[in-house]
């Protein structure tokens, strides 16, 4: 049965010439798992919101949406509330009440369920999602992953027929993200719930999906089974964001079936290539002078709380991109805050360019020295438009008017945010905010650049431009510290990687050593090519090795 049908859907935001959605027609069958992907700003969020009528943004809408063959905007409120569930990108924004149990019962209260029915359902779901241990907790105290799980559970209480999810895993570490997707798959399989999910991290999703919808500039350019989409979009730049197996297959003149999972990718490599275990890659190993020296750092947020960092040691040099990985709540952001002088370790010493961090007075640390892109890009903006924000920081850095204009123009070209300059920062899509915040941080022209998850919510193309920006900075002798959950990006860009675990930074290794020795905290390219090629941890490396190793 067809649960949802879009017919020539077109939408534009008020006062915006460009259409956010343009002439989209698609049908979704009941029980399907559909993945929606495309560049950031292509209209994924807008499309999902249009399908949930209570969330439909203001603007000019043409075309029609049919839910179970009836116009969506005319369905009963009660039906829409209970049958269409929505989980948004930002887990925090959706939580309504202050207690976990109340959040779970909220939707059922609204629909007028009896107390006994609510008790039973809430109990059942809390068990299913493993929420029982924090059932009576304050919603505020939950971790990001727990919040996202709570959102999903809260929506599931009224047994929706279709679930809409907007980048639900963008803030989760790779392992938590995989768990979350597994839960979704379980719901899809066991309850027959239809799922429509927008995402940039597709590695785990393609194998799970029944259908993939690809959008570009508000248009739907492909809508088919994952394999079919990979075949048809073979030469499209959009495929840069596809799973590694697909990209490898596409670049190596893939024949036959396109592999989607690590297992299939491995089979494909084994069948078509001669194993070669000699090392081709050599990465930089001599770095400049030490920029950041941390020794034996201990930190906790409050006296009565637990230690977050327990004796972290590290030395990071100029001309180096240093990448810190680690699970949710392992203390990565905390570590960056310490380096940026925003918090003080209660024990241990941090030296910035050979000078103790406490000796920098009156904001001297932030004058062309250290600059940080925080985890939430929205905290960077203070003005009414992106341009004003950028000019503001130029003023503080003491650039002249002319200089400022030049710098802003050059940066906005490099990050392709030119058309966003006159918009309100909060009107941008998640990925666009990320890029604009980065621009503001880069304008401070620091010697040490700290980036907290700069790639979340941005598309493969933007990652490429970020890559070139970072490489440029490194070559200028800057020190870049990168915190990320994006193992693919780390593997491609880092000079050294380190895992933050149990409050300590484990020994920093080159990405090749780091990712080839990990089994779970690693890239799929590495898992796929292990034992076939040596130290090929990125799709590009596998492709390069493959080119040289064709069978016959």
Partner 1 sequence: MKHLENNAFSRFHPISLAVYFVAVMLITMFCPHPVILLLSLAGGILFSIRLTGTDAFAKDCRFYLPLFFLVTFTNPLFSHNGVTVLFFLNGKPITLEALMYGADLALMLFGVVFWSKCWGAVMTSDKLLFLFGKPFPRLSLVLSMSLRYIPLFKKKWQEIKDAQTALGCFSEGGFLSGIRSSTRIFSALVTWSFENTIDTGMSMSARGYGLKNRTSYSLFRLKRRDVFFILLTLALAASAVVGIATGALAYIFYPAASVPQDGSAILFYVLFGVLALLPFAEETREALTWRYLLSNI
Partner 2 sequence: MERLTPKKAIGYSIILVLIPLFIAGGAFLLENRQYVWISLCIAVLACVPFFAVFEKKTADVRRMVVLAVLVALSVLGRFAFSFVPHFKPVTAIVILAGLYLGAESGFLCGALSAFLSNFFFGQGPWTPFQMLGWGIIGFFAGLFSKPLRKHLSLLLLYGGFAGAIFSLLMDVWTVLWLDGSFLFARYAALVAAALPVTAIYAASNLIFLLLLARPLGKKLDRIERKYGL
Ligand X SMILES: Nc1ncnc2c1ncn2[C@@H]1O[C@H](COP(=O)(O)OP(=O)(O)OP(=O)(O)O)[C@@H](O)[C@H]1O
Tell me the CA end-to-end span of the chain in Å, nearest whole number: 48
Question: Where in 388-447 is the site for Mg ion (CB under 5 A)?
Answer: 429-430
Which residue's CB is nearer to partner 2, number 13 or number 461? 13
Number of residues lying near ligand X (CB under 6 A): 31
Positions 44 through 63 that interact with ligand X (CB under 6 A): 44-46, 57
Please, what is the minimum distance in Å from the beta carbon of residue 187 to Mg ion?
Answer: 22
Select the residue interacting with partner 1 from 75, 139, 146, 244 (CB under 8 A).
Answer: 139
Count the neighbouring beta carbons within 10 Å of the beta carbon of residue 62. Answer: 13
Closest CA to 10 of 72, 71, 64: 64
Which residues within the stretch 435-494 sit at the binding site for partner 1 (CB under 8 A)?
440-441, 444, 450
Residue 428 in contact with ligand X, rule: CB under 6 A: yes
CB of 328 to ligand X, least distance (A): 4
Tell me: does residue 427 bind partner 2 (CB under 8 A): yes
Name residue 501's beta-bridge partners: 504
Q: Which of 255, 258, 257 is nearest to 242 (CA)?
A: 258
Q: Is 529 in the site for ligand X (CB under 6 A)?
A: no
- Whether the CB-CB separation of 26 and 213 falls below 8 Å is answered with yes
Residue 380 is a binding residue for partner 1 (CB under 8 A): yes
CB of 16 to partner 1, least distance (A): 17
Q: How far is the CB of 102 from partner 1 (least distance, A)?
A: 7
Instruction: Work out how close the CB of 96 gets to partner 1 at its nearest, in angstroms, rounded to a whole number.
Output: 5
Nearest in space to 156 (alpha carbons), one of 200, 211, 195: 195
One of 3, 142, 155, 539 touching partner 1 (CB under 8 A) = 155
Tokens describing residue 89? 């990108």
Neighbours of 14 (CB within 10 A): 8
Residue 465 burial by CB count (10 A; 0-12/13-18/19+): exposed, middle or buried?
Answer: middle
The answer to whether residue 112 forms part of the interface with partner 2 (CB under 8 A) is no
Question: Of the candidates 318, 326, 341, 446, which one interacts with ligand X according to CB under 6 A?
Answer: 326
Q: Tell me if 412 contacts ligand X by CB under 6 A.
A: no
Nearer to ligand X, 318 or 431 (CB): 431
Ranges within 15-74 binding Mg ion (CB under 5 A) = 45
Angle at 183 between CA 76 and CA 459, to 5 degrees: 85
Nearest in space to 169 (alpha carbons), one of 469, 491, 485: 485
Can residue 333 be called a binding residue for Mg ion (CB under 5 A)?
Answer: yes
Q: Is 78 in the site for partner 1 (CB under 8 A)?
A: yes
**CA angle 177–222–253, rounded 5-degree value:** 85
The Cα–Cα gap between 376 and 456 comes to: 10
Query: At closest approach, how far in Å is the CB of 206 from partner 2?
Result: 35
Mutual angle of helices 174-191 and 144-156, in 10-degree steps: 10
CB of 15 to partner 1, least distance (A): 17
Q: Does 424 bind partner 2 (CB under 8 A)?
A: yes
By CB under 6 A, what part of segment 217-256 binds ligand X? none
How do strand 320-325 and strand 479-483 relate by DSSP bridges? Answer: parallel
* Contact between 169 and 177 (Cβ < 8 Å): yes
- Choose the binding region for Mg ion from 108-116, 221-229, 345-353, 367-375 (rule: CB under 5 A): 367-375
Which of these, 182, 244, 178, 233, lies nearest to 39 by C-alpha position? 233
Cβ(443)–Cβ(394) under 8 Å?
A: yes
323 belongs to the binding site for ligand X (CB under 6 A): no
A 10 A CB-CB count for 500 gives 22
CA distance to 86, 366, 433, per residue, from 361 (Å): 48, 10, 31
- What is the nearest approach in angstroms of ligand X to the Cβ of residue 523? 18
Looking at residue 462, what DSSP letter applies?
Answer: H
Angle at 35 between CA 240 and CA 176, to 5 degrees: 85
Strands 21-29 and 2-12 turn out to be antiparallel
Q: Does 43 bind ligand X (CB under 6 A)?
A: yes
What does the alpha-carbon distance between residue 47 and residue 20 come to, in Å, rounded to a whole number?
A: 9
Closer to ligand X at the Cβ: 217 or 549?
217
DSSP secondary structure letters along 5-22: EEEEEEEE-TT-SS-SEE
Distance CA 108, CA 101 (A): 12
**Three-class SS of residue 149?**
helix
* Residues in 27-66 at the binding interface with partner 2, rule: CB under 8 A: 58
Q: Which stretch binds ligand X (CB under 6 A): 155-163, 323-331, 355-363, 489-497?
A: 323-331
Examine residue 375 and tell whether it contacts ligand X (CB under 6 A): yes
Which token pair is 552? 């016959």
Residue 101 binding partner 1, by CB under 8 A: yes
Interface stretch with ligand X, choices 112-120, 399-407, 426-434, 517-525 (CB under 6 A): 426-434
Min dist CB 92 to partner 2, Å, is 14
Q: Please identify, using beta-carbon distances, which residue of 133 and 519 lies nearer to partner 1.
A: 133
503 binds ligand X (CB under 6 A): no
Can you tell me the distance from the alpha carbon of 208 to that of 188, in angstroms, rounded to the nearest whole number? 10
**Which one among 374, 430, 431, 457 touches partner 1, defined by CB under 8 A?**
374
Which one of 64, 66, 106, 216 is in contact with partner 1 (CB under 8 A)? 106
Q: Which residues bind partner 2 (CB under 8 A)?
A: 14, 58, 424, 427
Q: Which residues bind Mg ion (CB under 5 A)?
A: 45, 333, 375, 429-430
Q: Which residues bind ligand X (CB under 6 A)?
A: 13, 16, 20, 40-46, 57, 144, 173, 301, 308, 326, 328-334, 375, 427-432, 457
Q: Which residues bind partner 1 (CB under 8 A)?
A: 52, 54-55, 77-78, 81-82, 86, 88, 90, 92-99, 101-102, 105-115, 118-119, 122, 136, 138-140, 154-155, 158, 337, 340, 342, 362-363, 366-367, 370-372, 374, 376, 378-382, 392-393, 396-397, 426, 440-441, 444, 450
């Amino acid at each position: 049965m067809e649960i949802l049908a879009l017919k020539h859907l077109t939408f534009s935001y008020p006062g915006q010439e460009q259409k956010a959605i343009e002439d989209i027609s698609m049908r979704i069958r009941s029980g399907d798992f559909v993945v929606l992907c495309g560049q950031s700003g292509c209209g994924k969020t807008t499309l999902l919101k249009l399908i949930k009528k209570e969330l439909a943004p203001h603007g000019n809408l043409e075309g029609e949406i049919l839910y179970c063959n009836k116009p969506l905007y005319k369905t009963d409120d009660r039906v829409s509330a209970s049958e269409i569930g929505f989980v948004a990108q930002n887990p925090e924004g959706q939580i309504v009440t202050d207690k976990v149990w109340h959040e779970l019962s909220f939707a059922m209260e609204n629909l007028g369920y009896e107390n006994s029915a609510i008790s039973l359902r809430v109990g059942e779901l809390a068990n299913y999602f493993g929420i029982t241990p924090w059932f009576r907790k304050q919603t505020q105290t939950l971790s990001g992953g727990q919040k996202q799980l709570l959102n999903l559970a809260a929506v599931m209480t009224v047994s929706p027929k279709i679930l809409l999810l907007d980048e639900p895993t963008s803030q989760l570490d790779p392992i938590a993200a995989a768990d979350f997707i597994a839960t979704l798959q379980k719901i899809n399989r066991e309850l027959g719930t239809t799922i429509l999910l927008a995402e940039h991290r597709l590695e785990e999703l393609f194998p799970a999906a029944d259908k993939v919808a690809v959008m570009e500039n508000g248009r739907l350019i492909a809508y088919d089974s994952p394999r079919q989409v990979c075949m048809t979009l073979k030469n499209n730049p959009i495929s840069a964001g596809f799973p590694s197996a697909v990209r490898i297959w596409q670049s190596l003149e893939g024949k036959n079936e396109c592999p989607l999972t690590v297992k299939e990718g491995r089979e494909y490599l084994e069948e078509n290539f001669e194993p070669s275990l000699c090392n081709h890659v050599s990465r930089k190993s001599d770095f400049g002078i030490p920029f950041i020296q941390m020794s034996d750092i201990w930190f906790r947020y409050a006296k009565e709380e637990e230690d977050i960092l327990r004796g972290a040691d590290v030395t990071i040099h100029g001309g180096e991109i240093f990448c810190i990985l680690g699970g949710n709540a392992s203390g990565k952001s905390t570590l960056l805050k310490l380096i940026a002088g925003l918090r003080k370790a209660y024990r241990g010493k941090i030296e910035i360019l050979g000078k103790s961090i406490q000796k920098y007075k009156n904001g001297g640390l932030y004058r062309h020295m250290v600059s940080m892109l925080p985890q939430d890009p929205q905290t960077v903006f203070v003005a009414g438009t992106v341009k004003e924000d950028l000019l503001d920081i130029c003023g503080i850095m003491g650039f002249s008017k002319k200089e400022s204009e030049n710098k802003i123009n050059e940066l906005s070209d490099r990050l392709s945010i030119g058309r966003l300059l006159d918009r309100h920062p909060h009107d941008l899509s998640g990925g666009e905010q990320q890029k604009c915040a980065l621009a503001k941080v880069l304008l401070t022209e620091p010697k040490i650049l700290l980036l907290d998850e700069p790639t979340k919510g941005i598309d493969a193309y933007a990652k490429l431009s970020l890559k070139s920006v970072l490489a440029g900075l490194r070559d200028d002798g800057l020190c870049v510290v990168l915190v990320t959950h994006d193992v693919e990006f780390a593997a491609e860009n880092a000079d050294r990687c380190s895992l933050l675990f149990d409050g300590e930074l484990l020994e920093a290794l080159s990405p090749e050593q780091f990712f080839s020795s990990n089994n779970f905290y690693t890239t799929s390219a590495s898992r796929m090519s292990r034992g076939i090629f040596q130290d090929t941890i990125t799709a590009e490396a596998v492709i390069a090795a493959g080119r040289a190793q064709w069978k016959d």
